Copies of this chain bind each other. A is one copy, B any other.
Amino acid sequence: MTQPNAVHDQRVGVWFVGARGSVATTATLGALAMAAGLAPRTGLVSELPEVAVAGLPSLEGLVTGGHDILETPLAHRAQVLADSGVFPPSLVTTLADELAAADSRIRIAPRLGTQRENARAVEQDIRDFRAANDLDRVVVVDVSNTEPPVTPRPELDSLAALEEALDAGHAPLPTSSLYAYAAFRAGCPLVSFTPSPGATLGALTELAKEQALPWAGRDGKTGETLVKSALAPMFGTRALKVRSWASYNMLGGGDGQTLSDPRAALSKTTTKGAGLDAILGYHVDGPMHIDYVEDLGDWKTAWDNISFEGFLGTRMTMQFTWQGCDSALAAPLVIDLVRLAARAHERGENGVVGALAFFFKDPLGGIDHTLADQWRTLAQWCENLGASA
């Protein structure tokens, strides 16, 4: 696949919130491997001609860094992932120096007295990263653990009220939103790859607009929901009535463990469930479970049972099984989103970028859940971005 419109003279930083997690580790190693010509670009949507036409920053110009609460070196985490089959072990050995360099750009997440102080420290770390690495721009990407939904509060709705609360030493923000706040203050576009609140709170949306920054979210569409958004329109356009759609998910990695907490799972099952009804135009019943099965590691197995009704009321069924590697599915999308968000920033877009709905379970600013329509919207947007060069 060629990339004729790539802008090679850009240096783009990626600041991961959760920089030592599975997704960030896989994305970091993958970007290094592809830049070094050690791996094909399979899975990268941004390498397809319809998307590359936007004129995206090259993989060679990406520089990663970020925050994490753990100190485990990247190389160690990469080895664990390689052992469980996420990528070939040889990559970890060959890229040992580059991984060590990437690791040196990760800082321990600040845990100071007040949220105001923490937000400032995060913002400063990002600014330091941009300056130290001579970057044209930095995209902040949230790939940390899923948080529960927030309870509505006035200081989450207006920027002025939020600033006042922070000044007063209060701590109204969930962590994902604190990072969104710091990212915007540092002048960085944001990608929300988890279902956490992030920038969806009114106060943050206001801040992004004020700073004229683009952002995108939320919750990367990597597996079962991706299949749903491809299959459900088939039932719709064939006038087949879906009677029930059961969704069973098993996952053993870090995200699986987080989601075994029912409060966190609520964020996830909400974003997972929304699309089906939206695509079909009516409510579809059916159980949805996300189970933590330690044995499966980073490999996710999903099974869906669809019961539908056709001509003269005849009942039929379809079932599918999805056996995918969660990090291997998420990591390329993260790289795609960084390149696209960087390009949008360069072109001066701001606010939620609805044209990126293709990548998300809960597409903010996008009205469509149908995968094919999301693809067309994306391709059109990319063509415009490229043309505007």
Contacts and interface: CB of A to CB of B under 8 A. Distances in A.
Interface in A66-112: 85-89, 91
Given A230-B234, A240-B42, A293-B244, A314 B325 contact: yes
Contacts of A240: 42-43
A45 interface: yes
A298 to B, nearest CB: 10
Interface string A42-79: 11110110000000000000000000000000000000
A250 B305 contact: yes
Q: How large is the interface on A (under 10, 10 to 19, 20 to 34, 35 or more residues)?
A: 35 or more
Interface stretch (A118-126, A165-173, A199-207, A370-378): A370-378
A248 interface: yes
B88 A312 contact: yes
Contacts of A313: 39-40, 42, 87-88
Contacts of A86: 312, 314
Contacts of A289: 248, 287, 289
A316 B324 contact: yes
A43 B321 CA distance: 25
A316 B295 CA distance: 12
B30 A227 contact: no
B42 A310 contact: yes
Nearest to A311: B43
A364 interface: no
A284 B264 CA distance: 26
A44 B238 CA distance: 7
Nearest to A290: B287
Interface of A: 26, 29-30, 33, 39-45, 47-48, 85-89, 91, 226-227, 230-231, 233-234, 237-241, 243-244, 246, 248, 250, 285-287, 289, 291, 293-296, 301, 303, 305, 307, 309-314, 316-325, 328-329, 331-332, 358, 370-373, 375
26 contacts: A26-B312, A39-B313, A42-B313, A44-B311, A48-B237, A87-B311, A87-B312, A226-B234, A230-B234, A234-B371, A243-B295, A244-B293, A244-B295, A246-B293, A248-B303, A287-B293, A289-B289, A295-B307, A303-B303, A303-B305, A310-B325, A311-B332, A312-B328, A318-B320, A318-B324, A321-B321
Kindly list the 8 A-B residue pairs having the minimum CB-CB distance in the complex, ordered from nearest.
A372-B372, A287-B291, A43-B311, A230-B234, A314-B328, A87-B312, A320-B320, A244-B295
